[in-house]
Amino acid sequence: MATTQLTVIGYVRVSTNKQDIGPEVQIAALQTEADRNGWTLDIRRENAASAKSLRNRPVLAQVLADLKAGKADALAVSKLDRLSRSVADFAGLLETATRQRWALICLDLGIDTSTITGAAMAQVTCTFAEMERKKIAERTRDGMAKIKTTTGKHMGRRSVLPQATVDRIHRERATGMSMARIADLLNTEGVPTATGRTWHASTISQVLGR
């Protein structure tokens, strides 16, 4: 996919956190990049959305739906934290972009999967994200084992399931992926459930219904 003449959705997330960069700065960075590369830029703005969960971001959900439908060639953000504060979750979004054949552009990380260099940077990010996933899974298993040893019981789902896993499930579902397919992916990657058992479509449904 060439860098020029792309139709790019620029996602701008406006937070209530005063330390976050404002929408004007985000838009300016995206517009500068669009002018430099000849993109057709479509700015989508999400107001006061939490970075900790994808469930409360209807604008992002619509963006992902439009990308899946082929209405745009790429999704661009000025900084990683506009999409997620988890590199592992961002890597999951990269996987979705690759599968659905649209590009993902993150200006602060130098990621632009429509270019060879940017795609290589994405692979590096995914490598570190995989390490993060494995560390999270290991900490979760160790924590559950310790609790079971001391109390004889597993911790409940709400206390154990990492927010990154919850966010990923909502993100994959927003792209149209079936609950059974999401469960298969999580099982293949060794992502633990809250009770350390196997993921099923019914398990995914429980997470989505919280």
Q: State the average pLDDT over residues 154-170.
A: 70
pLDDT digits (tens, 9 = 90+) for 44-69: 999 866 555 556 788 999 999 999 99
- For residue 3, pLDDT over 50 is answered with no
Residue in 192, 79, 81 with CA at minimum distance from that of residue 133: 192
Task: Tell me which residues are annotated as active site.
Answer: 15
**88/168 Cα distance (integer angstroms):** 9
Q: State the average pLDDT over residues 97-126.
A: 83
Torsion sign (Cα): 45, 77, 58, 86: negative
**20/13 Cα distance (integer angstroms):** 10
pLDDT at 92: 79
pLDDT at 104: 93
CA distances from 85 to 81, 89, 124, 142 (A): 5, 8, 17, 24
- For residue 116, pLDDT over 70 is answered with yes
Give the range among 24-38, 42-56, 103-117 with minimum mean pLDDT: 42-56
Q: State the average pLDDT over residues 60-88.
A: 89
- For residue 119, pLDDT over 70 is answered with yes
All domains of the chain in start order, with CATH: 7-123 (3.40.50.1390), 133-208 (no CATH)
pLDDT at 135: 64
Residue in 85, 95, 101 with CA at minimum distance from that of residue 167: 85
**136/139 Cα distance (integer angstroms):** 5
Share of the chain above pLDDT 70, in %: 71
Task: State if pTM tops 0.75.
Answer: no
User: Of the spans 4-13, 42-51, 87-96, which averages the highest pLDDT?
Assistant: 4-13
- For residue 18, pLDDT over 80 is answered with no
Q: Which single residue is written with the structure tokens 């993100």?
A: 171
pLDDT range class, residue 189, cuts 50, 70, 90: confident
What tokens appear for 196 in the block?
Answer: 């350390």
- Strand residue runs (E) in 17-100: 40-47, 74-77
pLDDT at 139: 66
Q: What letter represents residue 35's amino acid? A: D
pLDDT at 192: 85
Q: How far is CA 89 from the centre of its chain?
A: 4
